[in-house]
Amino acid sequence: MKILVADDSATNRAVLGTLLTNMGHQPIFAENGREAVEVFERELPDCILMDIMMPVEDGLSATRRIKALSSGRLTPIVMVTTLDSETDLINGIEAGADDYFTKPIKMPVVKAKVRAMQRAIEVQRDIEQKTQELEKYYYEAENDMRITSHIMQRMTEPEKLDDPAFEYWLQPTAQCSGDLICAARTPGGVLHLILADGTGHGLSAAMDVIPLPQIFYAMTAIAYSIGTIAAEMNAKIKALLPVDHFIAATLIAVDPNNQTIEVWNGGNPTCWILNGRGELVHSARSKHLPIGILEPNAFDASTEKVRFSKGYRVISFSDGLPDAGNASGAELGLDRILSVFRKTAASSCMAKLKTLVAAHTNNSKTHDDISVVIIHTDKLATWADKTSHPIHSSHPPALSTTLSNGWRLEMRLGATELKVLDPIPFVIDLLKKLQVTDAHLSSLFLIISELFNNALDHGLLKLDSAIKHGENGFENYLNLRAHRLAELSQDATLELEFENQASEKYCLLKIRVKDSGDGFNHQITERGKEHAELQHGRGISLVEKIADQVVYNYSGNEVIVTYSL
């Protein structure tokens, strides 16, 4: 250490200087209080041995000035005095001295005092170093969180969260949220939504969920099912994250045309479906492990489907909502949350829920992120709404795409492929890459998916849509479909053909779907037109409105649709 010895006695300076040198320290000297202050400013010693009785300026005054100049820097001052009264000691301590010893100088006492000051300085320096490191880590973490938050905002495509069919609430407990909400529409107008909750909260949880939006938006844009999207997310997260990190997630698809709600829930609280009277009609509990735990070949992408009618709502939230605690540690709980949705008007539920949480937590921060989504099925636009004015015309419209002239795509799917593949996203992706406009993609998605599903469900699986009626009818239909698909004969085939016919003025797309079954009773479409209350037959009727021409061949197991681009 560099130690300042301030004493007007040359003998005392020499004795103390020799002692300090022998202890391995560097002594520097001052002959009075004023000089001690000047040396302090110039040399910044680590410790000071300060005599009280000195000319020009005494040690008490010099001590006060040095302490004022220290600016928080620890510089221990040991008073050296012949005075031994209690008042003198108090004056020295009040002036800023940290310790004292009296003359005549006793070497063992001086050594002990210096060593004590050295230990204090070392502790202080260690604290200062750690404080600096903590400040550095803090600012780095703040910068990381700022960047991560910016990335999250850019990746979640916030303009798609303005969909009138749902409302959401996201309340992070830190600058970065480990909860994620993304929503988008498929080309066919189906609302896809994901509510994800990364492990923990803050920066690490936010980093966990960053890969999800890109997968979600890209696969929704070409009409992959939410089960397939969940499987792809699981494979990606499993490959990227450490074994102790995973993501609880709820994926929801609401199809306004077929009036179905589809849910995949892995690790999140139960997703509720309420009817127009506020009654709980279905609870989509977590039936799967969170995303990122299972290997891809062990992942279960199965979903559950519910049919909805007027006034239905879908409610999903992360565990930060029911786990929100008050000052005494009591959690909000599921019962109080459900009561809000049962007893409050649909338009006021979110506001009422926020008020409930604020009152329960006394407006204090919760220990985990909170995210909530409410989907209002009445605010979903339907294909029937969009196609109230048929697109039929005596002449094809002007070309609105850069499709090349004369391309053709043929697909022939056997039983093995039909059990595991959904060809529709592949076809939609191809059409997107061929620069078909979004408006046309929406119509083509409906046409292709309706023709494919009719050929598979009715042509090959021989399902009767009337099964959907009655109590548990829709569930029975889906169970029977899954069973018959699993048992599908190896001789079964389904052909899809897409042919583009383009000129300088016009562009036509011919779509052919043929199955190896006994044929499809397309006359049901006429009944669908006459009886709007039927839950089947409406899809084909819509195809006829959207397309320029629909022609059935053979026994109805081949259909050719012409569509103007």
Nearest to 27 by CA among 7, 52, 41: 7
CB-count burial class (<10 Å; 0-12, 13-18, 19+) for 389: exposed
> In this predicted structure, what is the pLDDT of residue 277?
93
AA letter at 374:
I
CA distance 561 to 107: 108
Phi first, then psi, for residue 546 (nearest 5°) are: -80, -40
Q: What is the pTM of this model?
A: 0.73
- Edge to edge, what strands does the sheet with 99-102 contain? 26-30, 2-6, 47-51, 77-81, 99-102
> In this predicted structure, what is the pLDDT of residue 204?
74
- Edge to edge, what strands does the sheet with 370-376 contain? 166-171, 370-376, 313-317, 271-274, 280-284
> In this predicted structure, what is the pLDDT of residue 401?
43
> In this predicted structure, what is the pLDDT of residue 475?
87
Domains of the chain, first to last = 2-126 (3.40.50.2300), 156-379 (3.60.40.10), 387-564 (3.30.565.10)
Q: What is the pLDDT along the chain (565 residues), one digit of tens a residue?
A: 999 999 999 999 999 999 999 999 999 999 999 999 999 999 999 999 999 889 999 999 999 999 889 877 788 999 887 766 677 778 888 888 888 888 888 889 889 989 988 888 888 888 888 888 888 877 776 666 666 665 666 665 667 788 999 999 999 887 667 889 999 999 989 999 999 999 876 677 778 888 999 999 999 999 999 999 999 999 999 999 998 899 999 999 999 988 999 999 999 999 999 999 999 999 999 999 999 999 999 999 999 999 999 999 999 999 999 999 998 889 999 999 999 999 999 999 999 999 999 999 998 888 889 999 999 999 998 665 655 434 444 444 433 444 556 788 999 999 999 998 999 999 999 988 888 888 888 889 999 999 999 999 999 999 988 888 877 888 889 999 999 999 999 999 999 999 988 777 778 899 999 999 987 666 654 444 444 444 455 677 888 888 999 999 878 899 999 998 8
Q: Tell me how crowded residue 495 is: count the other CB atoms within 10 A of its CB.
A: 15
CA distance 11 to 214: 80
CA distance 243 to 148: 22
Nearest to 560 by CA among 433, 455, 420: 455
CA atoms within a 13 Å half-sphere pointing along the CA-CB vector of 83: 17
Query: What is the maximum alpha-carbon separation in the chain?
Result: 124
**CA torsion angle 544 550 553 559 (round to 10):** -80
CA distance 38 to 44: 10
